[in-house]
């Protein structure tokens, strides 16, 4: 359901353009779809260089306390209130506040587990290396692949334990603050949801700059025509 909510944002967001992170050419934007934090995305480097634990936790911090993460939590809270997914939270403003608090906690804990804690423990790289070239189908497969396969700090490749185990740990922790707890079925569903959202985000991060550039190019052409 949350993945569908993200995809519902796409049509309206594609009408807008995000600025570059530091105004320079070739740098990934800080947000894709104007909402999703994009601090851990970099172009595929000519020579791989690992990042230290401090940088991994910085990425987790930036993703967790960004306006986009707060906005996503607000959307997820609204969806939870509408569906009454956790009846014990109640309704109205108080109910919404509880949904928001748990949704935001889910995102923050997930970010720190998959981008800071487990990448540091397992010596894995939490960044998304954007391909940016090639056929769309190939790039789509590449974006999905990075959910399950990642760089190690030594420069090799390895199953992305940080993503799978990190999200599993986040779901397990969440059982403590949901009033009715979570059974095995709910836990498996929650893990699938987390990985599904991360997969959707990878795909958007891979292709969003293309749409942004096309929008910018069309705007420049229209400006030139209007000035004639």
Q: How far apart are CA 131 and CA 113, in angstroms?
A: 25
Instruction: Give the span between the Cα atoms of 11 and 106, in whole angstroms.
Output: 26
Coil, strand or helix: which one is 214?
helix
Residue 116 to residue 84: CA distance in whole angstroms: 32
Q: Where along the chain do its domains lie?
A: 51-64+105-211
Residue 63 is predicted with a pLDDT of 94
The answer to whether 151 and 129 have CB atoms below 8 angstroms apart is yes
Q: Which residues of 183-215 are buried (b: 16+ CB within 10 A; e: fewer)?
A: eeeebeebbebbbbbbbbbbbbbbbbbebbeee
The answer to whether the beta carbons of residues 107 and 171 sit under 8 Å apart is: no
Note the pLDDT of residue 109. 96
pLDDT by 10s per residue, the chain, length 228: 454 444 434 433 333 333 333 333 456 778 887 788 889 999 999 999 999 999 999 999 999 999 999 998 999 999 999 999 889 999 999 999 999 999 999 999 999 999 999 999 999 999 999 999 999 999 999 999 999 999 999 999 999 999 999 999 999 998 888 877 667 777 888 889 889 989 998 999 999 877 655 544 444 444 444 455
Angle, vertex CA 26, rays to CA 22 and CA 29, nearest 5: 50
Q: pLDDT tens across 3-58, in order?
A: 444 443 443 333 333 333 333 345 677 888 778 888 999 999 999 999 999 999 99
Residue 174 and residue 201 in contact, taking contact as beta carbons nearer than 8 Å: no
């Amino acid at each position: 359901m949350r993945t569908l909510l993200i995809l519902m944002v796409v049509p309206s967001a594609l009408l807008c353009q995000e600025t570059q992170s530091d105004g320079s050419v070739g740098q990934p934007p800080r947000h894709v779809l104007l909402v999703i934090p994009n601090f851990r995305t970099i172009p595929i480097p000519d020579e791989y260089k690992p990042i230290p634990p401090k940088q991994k936790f910085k990425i987790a911090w930036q993703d967790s306390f960004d306006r986009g993460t707060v906005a996503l939590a607000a959307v997820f809270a609204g969806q939870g209130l509408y569906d009454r997914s956790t009846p014990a939270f109640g309704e109205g403003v108080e109910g919404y506040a509880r949904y928001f608090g748990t949704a935001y906690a889910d995102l923050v804990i997930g970010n720190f587990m998959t981008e800071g804690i487990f990448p540091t423990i397992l010596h894995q790289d939490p960044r998304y290396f954007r391909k940016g070239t090639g056929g769309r189908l190939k790039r789509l497969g590449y974006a999905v692949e990075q959910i399950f396969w990642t760089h190690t700090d030594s420069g090799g490749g390895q199953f992305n334990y940080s993503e799978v185990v990190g999200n599993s740990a986040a779901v397990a922790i969440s059982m403590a603050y949901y009033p009715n707890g979570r059974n095995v079925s709910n836990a498996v569903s929650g893990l699938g949801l987390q990985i599904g959202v991360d997969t959707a985000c990878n795909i958007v991060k891979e292709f969003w700059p293309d749409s942004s550039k096309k929008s910018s190019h069309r705007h420049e052409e229209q400006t030139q025509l209007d000035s004639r």
